Amino acid sequence: MFRTATRSLSTAARSSLKIGLIPADGIGKEVIPAARQAIEALGSDIPKPEFVDLPAGWETFTKTGVALPQETVDILRSDCDCALFGSVSSPSRKVVGYSSPIVALRKELDLYANIRPVTSVSLQVGEKPAVDLIVVRENTECLYVKQETSTVGEHGKEARATRLITERASRRIGRMAFELAQARPRKHLTIIHKSNVLSITDGLFRETVRGVPSLPELDGKFNEVTIAEQLVDSAVYRLFREPEVFDVMVAPNLYGDIISDAAAALVGSLGLIPSVNAGDNFVMGEPVHGSAPDIEGKGIANPLASIRSAALMLRHLGYTNGANRLDEAVDAVIREGTTLTPDLKGTSSTQEVLEAVLKRL
């Protein structure tokens, strides 16, 4: 399904593959173990997997006062080849001392790209999917730098947030987006922005990404890629009206977050949408869905997004055969339609869906 969704990190031959597992909160504790079992079922298509369980999240914060222990970061950096992250239950109100561990991990490991493929499963094998796009989200800047202030002015309370866009971050996310577009049949890239209003910040993002193909060191590498632009509000509209116009979409952090969640509605559920947080030296799979506290512990969380995220992670590391097998098994389960969780209008449990995938592996 997502066979051109990521670029591969160059990796040396390994006798084993060490994977950090960070279930974190909510249904992350249910779907990450499912992804682990799917990875283990791949056998010789990947090096022997070794798993390291690592703490992070709101629950960790309530127990220890730290949402992302330094030991977790250190082990990921020194001992792990890659990682899988589940979901986090960040509170909507300000809590002194708390900061989102997934946002922090992206910064600590310089995972500057969040790559989110959204692809529908065709009813017939080999049939062209109705929706087939990738959202490439800049992962380190925009409003997610979390620099907010609150003051009291003449008209009462005033709150401000700093939005950061840099040339460096825009250039490297643009380059990754061009590489992904270059690898796909359509070779089409849409830059998402709102520079008609935010002419300085979004203007810098737009201009920098457009300028990537002209970089001297690339020597015309991306000349085949067609570049388009779309204002973020009209992009959401067109996603629902004519998703076929999009191939690869590249966006600043906030827009990418919103667009990819909106695009998930086109294929039925957030429970189907995977992602990887990728940098130049590390990759971490992460299902797009949240912690879903309303279904936590009920055994009905959809494990398919976490399994697909594992496939993306493996593909990014160069293990194409194993990744393809995971994608094909998930596609087969969806296509058959008899073993699906309630978010897809089914009645099956997390375990039953996992077993259906494992059977096809």
Catalytic residues: 144, 194, 233, 257, 261
Q: Where are the alpha helices (DSSP H) in 183-303?
A: 201-210, 232-241, 253-264
Which pair of tokens denotes residue 273?
């949408």
- Contact between 181 and 158 (Cβ < 8 Å): no
According to DSSP, the β-strands at 188-193 and 226-231 are parallel
Q: What are phi and psi of 35, to 5 degrees?
A: -65, -40
- Give Cβ neighbours of residue 180 (< 8 Å, ≥ 6 apart): 4, 5, 6, 7, 115, 134, 136, 248
Give Dmax (Cα) for the chain: 68
Classify each residue of 121-144 as buried b or exposed e, where b means 16 or more C-beta atoms within 10 Å of its C-beta.
bbeeeeeeeeebbbbbbbbbbbeb
Residues shown for the chain: 361
Alpha carbons within 13 A on the beta-carbon side of 227: 19
Q: How far is CA 44 from CA 36, 41, 48, 84, 347, in A?
A: 15, 9, 7, 20, 33
| Nearest CA among 260, 263, 261, 264 for reference residue 272 | 264
| Nearest CA among 102, 106, 85 for reference residue 282 | 106
Q: State the Cα–Cα distance between residues 77 and 285, nearest whole angstrom.
A: 15
| Nearest CA among 113, 235, 132, 125 for reference residue 179 | 113
- Contact between 175 and 113 (Cβ < 8 Å): no
